[in-house]
Amino acid sequence: MNCQDFEIIVNELARRQMMQADVREQALAHTGECEVCALRLADERVLTQQLCAVTIQMSEMEAPARIETELLAAFRQNKFTNQSTRRRPSAIQDWRYWVTAAAAVLLIVIGIAAMRSRPSPVAAENPYVPTIGPDVAYIAKPSDTVVGPKPISSPEQGATLASYKPRRHANALMAQSNSANSGSGRETSLADRNTTVAANYGANEIATDFLPVGYTSPMNLQDGGQVMRVELPRSALADFGLPVNMARVNERVKADVLVGPDGQARAIRFVQ
């Protein structure tokens, strides 16, 4: 046996663990030849004795008696609790199940109600989508909220104008319908619709807000006017700050031009 082999078994040798008799004899014989290994075994034996002394010293140590008393009391309480509420977990689970189900149903109902009460996301985000039914015109004060619809009394009077403050323009704008006999008595608040008002002439037309032309003031617009359908180059959209598809820049786009009593254009809206 060499020193390396001896080092492997020195613990077992010092701790008097079971090992093969011939291995033990070889190890002891090695300690007679190697002084270092003999000292190593002596150190290990001393440590074993010291640890044995600690073990013996602590062998009588026990937990205090009060712990047993407390444990037995806890055991009795636990046993009582288990017996009295053995079916309780399932009851709790049932209760939680029904509460969760009721909450889910409530959330669905609230969600549906919220969906119905708000405008469609397309209309809210796209100013080209009309939010007012066809053939309705409004007179509005130059404020953020349009007070309500007012039908045009007769076609001869021309278009009755509505002015309001749009999202992107500080100037007052107008909305008008060329149809005079519809929408009577119907009131719609537009404050919660981002003040986007557009009249839809045809069934499938989409119009922008009225955009002021030149430096027309709202006061002049209240005098009345007339809406005329025209066609303009698509590049005209850029003049009013609207995005232009450069691939279709040569195409023409429909527009409604509000002409004042003096025959001058006051506002314009683009129709698609």
Partner 1 sequence: MKPHTDPSDSELLQAMLAGEERALAALYRRRQGGIYRFALQICGSQALAEDVTQEVFMVLIRDGHTFDPTRGSLNAFLVGVARNLLLRRLQRERFYVPIEENSDSDADTHESFLTTGGPLEDLSRLETINSVRTAVLALPERYREVVVLCDLQEMSYVEAADVLSCAVGTVRSRLHRARALLIERLRPAPEEQASTTVNSARCFA
Q: Tokens 């609790």 appear where?
A: 81
Tell me which H or E stretch contains 101: helix 88-117
CA distances from 228 to 116, 225, 241, 261, 262 (A): 35, 10, 21, 13, 14
Closest CA to 265 of 256, 166, 159: 256
Question: Does residue number 70 form part of the binding site for partner 1 (CB under 8 A)?
Answer: yes
Could you give the CA distance from residue 182 to residue 206 in angstroms, rounded to a whole number?
Answer: 19
Q: Please, what is the minimum distance in Å from the beta carbon of residue 33 to partner 1?
A: 22
Q: Please, what is the minimum distance in Å from the beta carbon of residue 74 to partner 1?
A: 6
CA distances from 137 to 54, 152, 168 (A): 101, 7, 21
Instruction: Out of 71, 104, 112, 115, name the contact with partner 1 by CB under 8 A.
Output: 71
Question: Does residue number 16 form part of the binding site for partner 1 (CB under 8 A)?
Answer: no
Question: Does residue number 247 form part of the binding site for partner 1 (CB under 8 A)?
Answer: no
Q: Please, what is the minimum distance in Å from the beta carbon of residue 38 to partner 1?
A: 14
Question: Does residue number 19 form part of the binding site for partner 1 (CB under 8 A)?
Answer: no
Residue with smaller CB distance to partner 1, 61 or 114: 61
Q: How many residues bind partner 1 (CB under 8 A)?
A: 31
Binding site for partner 1 (CB under 8 A): 11, 15, 43-44, 46-48, 50-51, 53-64, 67-68, 70-72, 74-76, 78-79
